[in-house]
Amino acid sequence: MYRYEKVNLNLKSVIYRAGVQYGGLPEWDFIWKKYLNAIVPSEKHKLLIALCRTQDTNHLARLLEEAAKGENIRHQDLTTVVSVVSINTNGQILAWRFVQQNWKKFVKWFGSSSFILPNLVKSTTSSFSTEFDYEEVSAFFNSHDSASVNMSVASSLENIRMNIDWLENNEDIVTTWLNNPKNILHVPDSR
């Protein structure tokens, strides 16, 4: 179906990401197969990042589950998958729910001395900006084994609070500015 030609090394990551982000199932499957067959670690990493850029939440969920299994995606790459899925607007909540559902498993796997758990906390909560988010994160970590990530949780809660405050102070101003047609950039006619 696809004709594979050599791609400029400097453009591979961009092409992979764009193909998955703006493509559909065939593009995702193509990159997934390339990932499974890749031998060079840097190539595998580029392909993994690209897979996380899909707009399809089913594929994002599949990728998260694959990372949790540790078969096709190594456990040490779990934070990469969760972090990149978290910055995908279609994956933000999905990644947080995934971490919540698998927290006990992650604590068991990675232990309290690992940097992986604090990274999971930070990456999945950094974009939260509502009181609901704040309360949910706080309640979750208060009711789970989280001693190893107390500092990360405190930092994340502080970040969520700052996001809430920023929105309260600036959302109306920014919305008004964006809704004003005079503020839209006009591109001069090139004729």
Q: What predicted TM-score, i.e. pTM, was given to this entire model?
A: 0.83
CB atoms closer than 10 angstroms to residue 167:
13
The predicted pLDDT at position 176 comes to 84
Per-residue pLDDT of the chain (191 residues; tens, 9 = 90+): 556 567 677 788 898 899 999 999 999 999 999 999 999 999 999 999 999 999 999 999 999 999 999 899 998 899 999 999 999 999 999 999 999 999 999 888 887 767 889 999 999 999 999 999 999 999 999 999 788 899 999 999 999 999 999 999 988 888 888 888 776 665 556 55
The predicted pLDDT at position 188 comes to 54
**Which is nearest to 107 in space by CA: 96, 120, 97, 122?**
120
What does each C-alpha distance from 174 to 82, 130, 161, 183 come to in angstroms? 30, 17, 19, 11
The predicted pLDDT at position 12 comes to 84
State how far the Cα of 41 lies from the Cα of 19, in Å rounded to an integer.
20
State how far the Cα of 90 lies from the Cα of 104, in Å rounded to an integer.
25
3-state DSSP assignment of residue 188? coil
**Which is nearest to 21 in space by CA: 44, 49, 43?**
49
